[in-house]
Amino acid sequence: MTINKNIYPFLKWAGGKRQLIKQIENRLPKHFNNYFEPFVGGGALFMFLQNDKTFINDISNELISAYKTIKKKPEELIKLLKQHEREHKKNPKDYYYKIRKLDRNDNWKDVNELIKTARMIYLNKSCYNGLYRVNQSGFFNVPWNKEEVINTYNKNNILHLSKFLNERVEIYCGDFEIICENAQKGDFIFFDPPYDLLKKTTFDSYTIQGFGVEEQKRLSKLFKKLSDRGCYVMLTNHNTPLINELYGSEFNIDIVKVKRAINSKKENRKGEEVIIYNYSIDEQKSYQSSLEDYYDL
């Protein structure tokens, strides 16, 4: 398999999987057909796999609109991002907060998706720690990162990603169960949901809908249903009692050490996550050479 190294995440997303790619790669099924990612987020894994037929989904309308914009209008998006960079450089703080408050305007819902996507990427690159967060009203509320000069995009990345999305990827926005309805035996589904809380104060919601205990339980039922169907299924999450209870009796659970660079407190930037899967990984080596090429290991 030839990997296009020009394709990688175009924004920073909490819970992004770039640092876990090698751990995941070591546990991939040797062969699979279609690839599904119901919680796509920043998309590190599907961009690494570059499977012939891929289905991605997320509940965030803004995020999925960004993928669709890159797919359909990459050149127009690049022009708007260049404009944001120029305006930001003139008066960084004032410009950041001017753009941030646009979603408070009454007519924001009528603004076209191209402008919304450029705003989202600009804010992602110029907000504190790349944290995507909305308040209970659905308004983006992360402070400025105090950087006076920002880079919002890589042209080659946007163009190559656009080509890949057009040729091999179907994009959906909705509940995680819906995209899995057509998954068949031999397909591979990777779940990277909002994680189970480590404590009540842990930030877990990037949309106003949230993802609580009942959603974790519903996801575990879907995981088992897909496993019974003959699909290859993998899931990542925090290493918590709830997650171990939901999956530990039936599936493989591997504990891995991680760094949480997006956490605002340094003492909370280390932790344990679990990789859960429903198949044997003996002799699963098919992606090793591709991984090494992708990241110049």
In order along its 297 residues, the chain shows pLDDT tens digits of 578 999 999 998 877 777 789 999 999 999 999 999 999 999 999 999 999 999 999 999 999 999 999 999 999 999 999 999 999 999 999 999 999 999 999 999 999 999 999 999 999 999 998 888 888 888 999 999 999 999 999 999 999 999 999 999 999 999 999 999 999 999 999 999 999 988 754 444 444 456 899 999 999 999 999 999 999 999 999 999 999 999 998 999 999 998 765 555 555 557 899 999 999 987 455 444 455 555 554
Q: Within its chain, how far is the Cα of 105 from the centroid? A: 27
Domains of the chain: 18-59+174-295 (3.40.50.150), 61-157 (1.10.1020.10)
Q: Whole-model pTM? A: 0.89
DSSP, collapsed to helix, strand or coil, labels residue 294 as helix
Beta 169-173 vs 188-191: how paired, if at all? unpaired
Buried b (16+ CB within 10 A) or exposed e, 226-259: bbeeebbbbbbbbbbeebbebbeeebbbeebebe
DSSP, collapsed to helix, strand or coil, labels residue 95 as helix
Q: What six digits make up the tokens of 203?
A: 């930030």
What is the C-alpha separation between 101 and 235, in angstroms, rounded?
Answer: 36
Residues 6+ apart with CB under 8 A from 178: 57, 172
Residues 6+ apart with CB under 8 A from 99: 84, 119, 122, 123
Q: Which amino acid appears at position 164 of this protein?
A: F
Neighbouring CB atoms inside 10 A of 153's CB total 22
